[in-house]
Amino acid sequence: MKTIRRVLDVIPSNSRTAAGFWQLGAFVVLVLLRHSAAGSDFRFDRDTVGFANATVFEYREGHPFLRQREKGEPKRYTRRCFVLCRTTMQFQKFARFDPHAPPLDDRALAARIRRVTRRAAWENPLPTNQRVVFPGYADLRAMSEARREVVRANIGLGWPTYFRFGNFRMLFEHDSKYYEETHANVNATLARGELFVGFLTTYPRLSINHAVLVYKRNPASQNDGIERFLVYDPNHPEAPRELTWSSRDRAFAYQKDWDFIGGFVRVYQIYGKWLQ
């Protein structure tokens, strides 16, 4: 909104000249609003997927162990953290919901889901009248909980994410300057009202290789200089998690949980542009 105010402030007071500037200003405002619509109104309880990505390993105090599959245990939904973050971003940009209309059958719903998830996640948001409509549900959370298997089957496979071109940055981009640039990029992305999907890793250690979606920045503490970011973590659909930035250490850290020991992580943006 500050950007919009600056646009309006430069409009001259002369009535004839002002008329042209008002038309130009209105156009710019509409473009800015359309561009920022993707993330500015993002709500965790409404705009995230309602089922979890299961981990390949079993974790104890954040340390991985080989998981023993129980006899008769159904196949687990694993290796989809990238997929679920991408899907969340795509639905925020390209879909809308109509809770007052009757829901689609499985086949029709699958086709509409694929229309959303086959669009490049880094494209600009679609205007409301061009978005793919999902009748029968109020939001992505409600639909993914009610039609879990249909959603799972149509948002993509997990294994191709291991071979994404952008993953190779972790082999050589790991100095404090790169972290500072990434931190600035996170803030710039959120300031534009957009979403930031981050690849978290501790390579060459393997304590975490994971994707999360950053959707909100909390003010930095005046005492400890820590910036706090709220994230959607596909392993934890029940509540937001926290990614932090330390201005003193010039480094990111991720909160401790059953699947991560907590502490330092490298962060690489994904789905922000082609080949990222």
Per-residue model confidence (pLDDT) at position 206: 80
pLDDT in tens, 72-107: 667 889 999 999 999 999 999 999 999 999 999 999
CB count, 10 Å around CB of 184? 11
Which alpha helices (DSSP H) does 11-139 contain, by range? 15-40, 44-47, 81-94, 106-117
- Binned at pLDDT 50, 70 and 90, residue 168 comes out as confident
pLDDT in tens, 111-127: 999 999 999 999 999 99
CB count, 10 Å around CB of 265? 23
- Binned at pLDDT 50, 70 and 90, residue 223 comes out as low
Buried/exposed 221-259: b ≥16 CB within 10 Å, e otherwise? eeeeebbebbbbbbbbbeebbebbbbeeeebbbbeeeeb
Percent of the chain scoring above 70 in pLDDT: 82
Per DSSP bridges, beta strands 251-254 and 241-246 are antiparallel
Per-residue model confidence (pLDDT) at position 39: 52
Residue 262 corresponds to which amino acid? G
Return d(Cα 67, Cα 41) in angstroms, integer. Answer: 39
How far CA 16 is from CA of 4, 13, 23, in Å, comes to 22, 9, 11
Per-residue model confidence (pLDDT) at position 218: 85
Q: Does 204 sit behind a cis peptide bond, omega within 30 degrees of 0 on the bond before it?
A: yes
Per-residue model confidence (pLDDT) at position 222: 57
How far CA 42 is from CA of 48, 213, 230, in Å, comes to 9, 11, 11
pLDDT in tens, 29-81: 444 444 444 456 999 999 999 999 998 877 776 677 777 776 666 788 999 99
Q: Is the pLDDT confidence value at 4 over 70?
A: no
Mean pLDDT score, 244-259: 94
CB count, 10 Å around CB of 215? 26
Per-residue model confidence (pLDDT) at position 75: 83
Tokens 């009748």 correspond to what residue? 135
